[in-house]
Chain A
Amino acid sequence: MSFISSFSFMSQYWMMFVQGVITTIELAIISIVFGFIIGIVLAILKKSKYSILSIFAKAYIGFIRDTPLLIQIYIVYIGLPMIFDVNISDFATGVIALTLYSAAYIAEIIRSGIESLPIGQFEASLALGMNKWKMMRDIILPQAIKNILPALGNQFIGNVKDSSLVSVLGITDLMYQAQTVRGSTALGVQPILVAAAIYLVITWILNCGMSYAERRMSVNDIR
């Protein structure tokens, strides 16, 4: 049996990969959206003048960034039902773990975006009588977010790839489906190669979309 023809299993199992792709993209989108919201909050908490809030944000970000995602997934998987005494679906568990994970990274991205703005933007806002909240909402965050869109895009691509780890929870994402197909077909590496190719295509499409968006946005963007 040649190597090429060993991929003939795809005619029977392609639907499983499609389902896997959908789940993977769902995981990535939901976790980037909620991660972004929590990330903004964390970035602002980190700058808070109340040291308890900034210490919390720093400790949280440090913990997430300095421990493996797989461990965080298990902590959420085992810990959440213990704390809240509710049944959370595996999918929700995966979403929560990925969200908590990407929020820490996004918080740092947002912080760098805020710090990259000229100090004059802050001073002009304050000198016009804006309070910190209005300054952040109207002047600082819109500019910061525009500056960090490339980094956010990279984080999204990271989320697509990192979501493969939640397959350990039995979530039927692309990685899990590949493993299932491996089991059903008794093939060694082929289903994994298919999954790798699909991940590659997804990230390639996302990269193209990002560079297109960047080019569009930089048209009238000379300071």
Chain B
Amino acid sequence: MISVKNLSKNYGNNKVVKNVDLEVKKGEVVVIIGPSGSGKSTLLRCLNLLERPNEGTIKFNDKNIDINMKDVKSIRTKVGMVFQQFNLFPHFTVLENVCHAPVVVQKKPRKTAEEDAKKLLESVGLGDKKDAYPSSLSGGQQQRVAIARTLAMNPDVLLFDEPTSALDPEMVTDVLRVMRDLAQHGRTMIIVTHEMGFAKEVADRVVFFDKGKIVETGTPKEIFDFPQHERTCDFISRVLHVI
């Protein structure tokens, strides 16, 4: 579904992502783990061209994506993104948050968009909050609205950029439950997270990312129980120790 070759991103002389190759198949759930500041979020943001890679190729559904292209709408509507800080639109109601982009970007009739939005909100357990404003919701609820908003565009791939890092611990489970549900329904997902338990349980493949590079990739069992590289061992022993 997505195939990345030789992708690099630098800010000035600071190389944040270094010649990364990554392949994600349809229906696959790939979890990227690694220390803070290793560039994993930047890698994720390169995939929907929120950050422009400096070099490399991105293939999406076997079609080459021009990394400098101006008309990014086509890729951004197919590659949805969920942010750490939710980034809901505070001046819109929950329902309007979810159906706004389908109406103005995809030109869906408003009525259809609203119907779809209501269904999506039901599916994330927030059907009764459709007329609320984001400021009246808890962090976990906001993030679930944000997931519904992303799903409303009917994307082929979902990118999650540390979706639970800004949440109180008791809110995390609700969001993870929604994500687990999506994974079980065969959604293609690329998730950057520090939730190791979730990664172990849901990931088809875990990627350990450090200093702008993929150090190691494998099944959750391979990465968590039998890591091959020293850096991976070190990281895993540290984070699992915390848990």
For residue B93, give the distance in angstroms from its CB to the closest CB of chain A. Answer: 11
B87's partner among A124, A129, A143, A146 (CB-CB below 8 A) is: A124
Q: Which of B73, B77, B83, B136 contacts A124 (CB 8 A)?
A: B83
Are A222 and B135 interface neighbours, CB within 8 A? yes
A120 partner, pick from B48, B83, B104, B136, beta carbons under 8 A: B83
Contact, CB under 8 Å: A220 / B76: no
Contact present for B85 and A146 (CB under 8 Å): no
B149 within 8 A of A: yes
When chains A and B are docked, how far (Å) is the Cα of A129 from the Cα of B108? 14
Interface bin, chain B? 20 to 34
B135 touches A127 (CB 8 A): no
- Measured CA separation A223–B135 after assembly (Å): 5
Evaluate contact between A129 and B85: CB separation under 8 angstroms.
no
Interface contact B87-A120, CB-CB below 8 Å = yes
A130 to B222, CA, bound (A): 40
- The smallest C-beta distance from B147 to any residue of chain A, in angstroms, reads 12
Taken together as a complex, chains A and B put the C-alpha atoms of A123 and B77 apart, in Å, by: 13
Report B33-51 residues with CB < 8 Å from chain A CB.
48, 50
Which residue of the partner chain, among B77, B90, B104, B149, contacts A134 with CB atoms under 8 Å?
B104
Residue of A nearest to B152 (CB): A128
Asked if B80 and A134 make an inter-chain contact with CB atoms under 8 angstroms apart, the answer reads no
Question: In the docked arrangement, what's the CA distance between A130 and B102, Å?
Answer: 10
Interface residue? A131 (CB, 8 A): yes
Query: Nearest Cβ distance between residue A144 and chain B, in whole angstroms?
Result: 10
B105 at the interface (CB under 8 A from A): yes
- Given A220-B133, A223-B135, verify A128-B83 contact (CB < 8 Å): no
Q: How far is the CA of A123 from the CA of B89 in the complex (A)?
A: 11
Interface centre among B48, B85, B88, B89 (most CB of A within 10 A): B89
Binding site of A, secondary structure by majority: helix, strand, loop or mixed?
A: helix
| Alpha-carbon gap, A223 to B89, bound state (A) | 10
Per the bound structure, the CA–CA distance linking A139 and B101 in Å amounts to 11
Q: Which residue of A lies closest to B73 (CB)?
A: A129
Known contacts A118-B85, A120-B83; A142/B91 CB under 8 A: yes
The number of residues on chain A lying at the interface, defined by a beta carbon within 8 Å of a beta carbon of chain B, is 21
Q: How far does the alpha carbon of A24 sit from the alpha carbon of B116 in the complex, in Å?
A: 53
Chain B's closest residue to A221 (CB) is B135
Please tell me if the beta carbons of A128 and B101 are within 8 angstroms of each other in the complex.
Answer: yes
Residue of A nearest to B146 (CB): A124
Identify which of residues 128-168 in chain A touch chain B, using a CB-to-CB cut-off of 8 Å.
128-131, 134, 138-139, 142-143, 146
Which of B73, B89, B101 lies in contact with A121, CB distance below 8 A? B89
| A130/B85 contact (C-beta < 8 A), A220-B135, A221-B135 known | no
- List B residues 89-133 near A (Cβ within 8 Å): 89-91, 100-101, 104-106, 133
Chain A residues near B77 (CB-CB < 8 A) = 128-129
B153 within 8 A of A: yes
Cross-chain contact B81 with A127 (CB below 8 angstroms): yes
What is the bound-complex CA distance between A142 and B90, given in angstroms? 10
Q: B residues engaging A (CB < 8 A)?
A: 48, 50, 72-73, 76-77, 80-81, 83, 85-91, 100-101, 104-106, 133, 135-136, 146, 149-150, 153
13 A-B pairs (CB sep. < 8 Å): A121-B89, A123-B50, A124-B87, A127-B76, A128-B105, A129-B72, A130-B101, A130-B105, A134-B104, A138-B100, A143-B89, A220-B133, A220-B136
Which residues of A are interface residues toward B (Cβ below 8 A)?
118, 120-121, 123-124, 126-131, 134, 138-139, 142-143, 146, 220-223
Further contacts, 8 of them, CB under 8 A, given A120-B86, A127-B76 = A123-B50, A124-B83, A128-B80, A128-B100, A129-B106, A142-B91, A146-B91, A221-B135
